[in-house]
């Protein structure tokens, strides 16, 4: 049958990572592609204990429909939680969302019309670009420095394109792992305020810090209601709970809530109650003390292996936290999109091609590597295999 799909979806390709997963079904493949937390960091026993107690104490209410704004105890505990980033939140400024990615979707649903432009750091989170396309908006890339988005280029493109939104992942960004300095955060805020541009601040990785000092959120500078702050509990508790929060002005929160009503009615009440109890019982910080060293060990293993096995001329990041290392070949002739399937077949390893993270999709000499979901032995074996492949490719 010749289906007549909507204009917004008929030419849209799938999320690159989800498409890559289809190639990883063969046994023995080492995946550096996804952003999965390490299985050993998921607090299974704690979640089981909390869930049993919640259901024993208040099971019928928790299993019933809830308000779109969220489970009120979680709203309260979330307002306390974001204080660690310097954010002053109140219930009327807070919305519980089904993972951080829903926060991006609801923001674009609320603000983006066909043809509207947003600015993103080049490279940026690929799901942001994918979601924007579903609302028929246009992403404009802004140059990036070692410490994040280039302020001069940002100022120029705010004038040139009059964007509605600037999307940023300021802490250990996906895909590069870079962190935006406090000076740049203040500059970003002032520029966007001057030009009437909303800032969508995405912070999924901020608690996974290995080194350096904590930096306050851009939202902590917000006195004018121009910043939408989203974070999730996927990396610090469990991605399967699909629970996060958005903090913004009451006017924006009301619009996001209306958009959420049409999407999923409300985030799963049981998941919300579990996260609330986890926060109230003071489990987050002890859990972070256990899991952050695990991720640091894996990051160090991958960083060392890249330096040891990858060919000369490759540039790669050394993040202070998060889950990713981004690598670029000096030679533009290395097309990580074209060779991807061949790489998987010959090395048994997978990555995400760098083009997926650029606004124009035209940077082909880069790749994103995730270290969180592989063992140190797999990291050593996989990077060695990739290094051998790329070394031979550059020699031919």
pLDDT digits (tens, 9 = 90+) for 28-50: 889 999 888 999 999 999 999 99
pLDDT of 67 over the 90 cut: yes
For residue 82, what pLDDT is reported? 98
Please state the pTM of the whole predicted model.
0.94
Q: 81 lies in a domain?
A: yes
What are the E-state strand segments in 155-271? 165-168, 198-202, 227-232, 244-247
For residue 13, what pLDDT is reported? 65
Do 237 and 182 fall into the same domain? Answer: yes
Q: Is 333 exposed, middle or buried (0-12, 13-18, 19+ CB in 10 A)?
A: exposed
Do 164 and 236 fall into the same domain? Answer: yes
Do 249 and 101 fall into the same domain? Answer: yes
Q: Which domain holds residue 378?
A: 7-43+286-395
Do 79 and 199 fall into the same domain? Answer: yes
Q: Which of 281, 312, 333 is the last residue of a domain?
A: 281
Q: 335 lies in a domain?
A: yes
Q: Which of 281, 305, 320 is the last residue of a domain?
A: 281
For residue 1, what pLDDT is reported? 76
In this structure, what are the phi and psi dihedrals at residue 201, rounded to the nearest 5 degrees?
Answer: -100, 115
Kindly state the tokens that stand for 365.
């000499």
For the beta carbon of residue 279, count every other beta carbon within 10 angstroms. Answer: 19
For residue 332, what pLDDT is reported? 65
Contact 96, 74 (CB under 8 A): yes
pLDDT of 19 over the 60 cut: no
As a whole-number percent, the residues of the chain with pLDDT over 90 amount to 88
Crossing angle (nearest 10°) for helices 100-111 and 126-134 = 40
Q: Are strands 198-202 and 117-121 parallel, antiparallel or unpaired?
A: unpaired
Do 33 and 64 fall into the same domain? Answer: no
Nearest to 349 by CA among 32, 37, 19: 32
pLDDT of 347 over the 70 cut: yes
pLDDT of 280 over the 60 cut: yes
Q: 2 lies in a domain?
A: no
Q: Which carries the bigger pLDDT value, residue 23 or residue 334?
A: 334
pLDDT of 25 over the 70 cut: no
For residue 26, what pLDDT is reported? 65
Q: 1 lies in a domain?
A: no
As a whole number, mean pLDDT of residues 362-379 equals 94
Q: 91 lies in a domain?
A: yes
Do 255 and 328 fall into the same domain? Answer: no
Do 311 and 248 fall into the same domain? Answer: no
For residue 16, what pLDDT is reported? 56
Q: 189 lies in a domain?
A: yes
Do 139 and 268 fall into the same domain? Answer: yes
For residue 14, what pLDDT is reported? 58
Q: Residue 127 maps to which CATH number?
A: 3.40.640.10
What total number of domains does the chain contain?
2
For residue 325, what pLDDT is reported? 97
Contact 267, 70 (CB under 8 A): yes
Q: Which of 281, 314, 331 is the last residue of a domain?
A: 281
Do 376 and 337 fall into the same domain? Answer: yes
Q: Is 223 exposed, middle or buried (0-12, 13-18, 19+ CB in 10 A)?
A: exposed
As a whole number, mean pLDDT of residues 112-137 equals 96
Do 209 and 95 fall into the same domain? Answer: yes
Do 228 and 100 fall into the same domain? Answer: yes
Q: Residue 38 maps to which CATH number?
A: 3.90.1150.10
Kindly state the tokens that stand for 100.
């951080």
For residue 396, what pLDDT is reported? 73
Do 96 and 233 fall into the same domain? Answer: yes
């Amino acid at each position: 049958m010749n289906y007549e799909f909507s204009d917004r979806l008929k030419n849209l390709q799938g999320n690159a990572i989800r498409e890559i997963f289809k190639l990883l079904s063969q046994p023995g493949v080492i995946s550096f592609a996804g952003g999965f937390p390490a299985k050993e960091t998921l607090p299974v026993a704690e979640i089981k204990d909390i869930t049993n107690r919640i259901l024993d104490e208040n099971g019928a209410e928790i299993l019933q429909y809830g308000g779109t704004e969220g489970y009120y105890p979680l709203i309260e505990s979330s307002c306390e939680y974001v204080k660690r980033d310097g954010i002053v939140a109140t219930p009327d400024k807070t919305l519980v969302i089904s993972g951080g990615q829903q926060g991006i979707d609801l923001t674009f649903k609320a603000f983006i019309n066909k043809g509207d432009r947003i600015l993103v750091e080049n490279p940026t989170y690929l799901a942001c670009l994918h979601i924007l396309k579903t609302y028929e908006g246009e992403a404009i890339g802004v140059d990036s420095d070692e410490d994040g988005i280039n302020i001069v280029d940002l100022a120029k493109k705010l004038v040139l394109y009059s964007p509605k939104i600037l999307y940023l992942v300021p802490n250990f960004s996906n895909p590069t792992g870079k962190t935006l300095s406090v000076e740049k955060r203040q500059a970003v805020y002032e520029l966007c305020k001057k030009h009437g541009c909303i800032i969508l601040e995405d912070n999924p990785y901020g608690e996974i810090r290995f080194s350096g000092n904590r930096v306050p959120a851009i939202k902590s500078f917000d006195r004018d209601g121009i910043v939408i702050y989203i974070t999730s509990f996927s990396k610090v508790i469990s991605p399967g709970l699909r629970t996060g929060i958005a903090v913004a002005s009451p006017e924006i929160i009301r619009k996001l809530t209306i958009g959420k009503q049409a999407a999923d009615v409300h985030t799963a009440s049981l998941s919300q109650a579990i996260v609330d109890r986890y926060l109230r019982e003071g489990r987050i910080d002890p859990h972070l003390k256990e899991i952050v060293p695990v991720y640091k060990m894996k990051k160090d293993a991958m960083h060392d292996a890249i330096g040891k096995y990858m060919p000369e001329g490759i540039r790669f990041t050394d993040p202070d936290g998060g889950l990713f290392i981004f690598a670029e070949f000096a030679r533009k002739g290395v097309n990580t999109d074209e060779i991807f399937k061949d790489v998987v077949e010959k090395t048994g390893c997978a990555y995400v091609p760098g083009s997926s993270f650029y606004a124009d999709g035209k940077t082909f000499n880069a790749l994103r590597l995730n270290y969180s979901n592989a063992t140190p032995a797999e990291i050593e074996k996989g990077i060695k295999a990739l290094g051998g492949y790329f070394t031979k490719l550059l020699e031919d």
